[in-house]
Amino acid sequence: MKNSWITFPRPNPRAKVRLFCFPYSGASASMYYSWTDVLPVSIEVCPVQFPGHGNRVSETPYTDLPGLIDALEEAILPSLDKPFSFFGHSMGALVSFELTRRLLRRHNLSPVYLFVSGHNAPQIPDPTEPIHALPEADFLDNLRMLNGTPEEVLQDPELRNLLIPVLRADFSVCETYNYTDEILLDCPICACGGLQDKYVDREGLKAWSVHTTNTFTMRLLPGDHFYLNYDRMYLLQAIAQEINRVVDLRT
């Protein structure tokens, strides 16, 4: 039976590691499809598609993180039959972190590497005011300030009507999140961010280090909060290097 959560843009059963990629708010799995052109063939890129996004646009998106993690746990388990790694950006960083904790706690499973990008460590309270329930005009103003949604999309009534409910749901997932202490992870963590990111700073990235008993690495790359959309080469080189440190990727 086809798994609607996990996409395989270039299936590669001979790969040594599966890299599951979690999108940011409003984005779909397709944002990661081009990564297959750059990463070594020993890494199989497996973007995750949330309900309400991409080819699942007719489904109701989740509005809370616990419910999303419950569903993801069940959906991803069949694909964890070989070494795997997680990458998540912004909302995706939060999702990949909580899913990693869930898999360790309930199944004694850990990724060979956890990459968290564009998000301060989860124990740091979000200094910004919640926006998911704002009136539409105010919500759109905040989206423009975030600079992650093309203006032509916000100006198009049909596209806007499709996107706004999904974005509200995704922001609700993040803005209603409550961090709780748990057992530390045993996998290495790499925290990545844009040098010009106005929402995530060096200290916020460095604070991810407290969540693992393994090694911690921080990578600061050129660009703002959406740095990975503009120059992916540095990021993908870093991902391949870090995974190669723990898994021999030579074919």
Annotation says 90 is catalytic: yes
- Spatial distance between the Cα atoms of 13 and 174, rounded to a whole number of angstroms: 34
Domain annotation covers residue 26: yes
Residue 229 has pLDDT above 70, yes or no: yes
Name the pairing type of β-strands 84-89 and 43-47: unpaired
| Res 136: pLDDT | 83
Domain annotation covers residue 72: yes
CATH number for the domain spanning 192: value is: 3.40.50.1820
- Spatial distance between the Cα atoms of 64 and 62, rounded to a whole number of angstroms: 6
Beta strands in the chain (DSSP E): 17-22, 43-47, 84-89, 113-117, 189-194, 216-221
Helix (H, G, I), strand (E, B) or coil at 114: strand
Mean pLDDT of 71-76: 97
| Res 241: pLDDT | 94
The predicted-structure confidence for 100-130, as pLDDT tens digits, reads as follows 999 999 999 999 999 999 999 999 988 787 8
Asked whether the whole model's pTM tops 0.85, one would answer: yes
- Catalytic pick from 42, 85, 90, 110? 90
Total number of domains in the chain: 1
Domain annotation covers residue 166: no
Domain annotation covers residue 168: no
The predicted-structure confidence for 44-70, as pLDDT tens digits, reads as follows 999 999 999 999 999 999 999 999 999
CB-hemisphere CA count at 13 Å for 159?
10
Domain annotation covers residue 51: yes
Q: Confirm if 104 and 183 have CB atoms less than 8 A apart.
A: yes
Domain annotation covers residue 153: no
Q: CB under 8 Å to 44, separation ≥6 — which residues?
A: 8, 10, 11, 12, 13, 15, 17, 18, 19
Of 66-80, 95-109, 133-147, the poorest mean pLDDT is in: 133-147
124 secondary structure, DSSP code: S
Domain range for residue 79?
A: 17-127+180-246
The predicted-structure confidence for 149-197, as pLDDT tens digits, reads as follows 777 777 777 778 888 899 999 999 999 999 999 989 999 999 999 999 9
Domain annotation covers residue 83: yes
| Res 251: pLDDT | 57
- Ordered DSSP codes for 57-108: TTSPPP-SHHHHHHHHHHHHGGG-SS-EEEEEETHHHHHHHHHHHHHHHHH-
Q: Chain-wide mean pLDDT for the chain?
A: 92
Domain annotation covers residue 85: yes
- Spatial distance between the Cα atoms of 140 and 116, rounded to a whole number of angstroms: 27
pLDDT band at residue 148 under the 50/70/90 scheme? low
| Res 1: pLDDT | 42
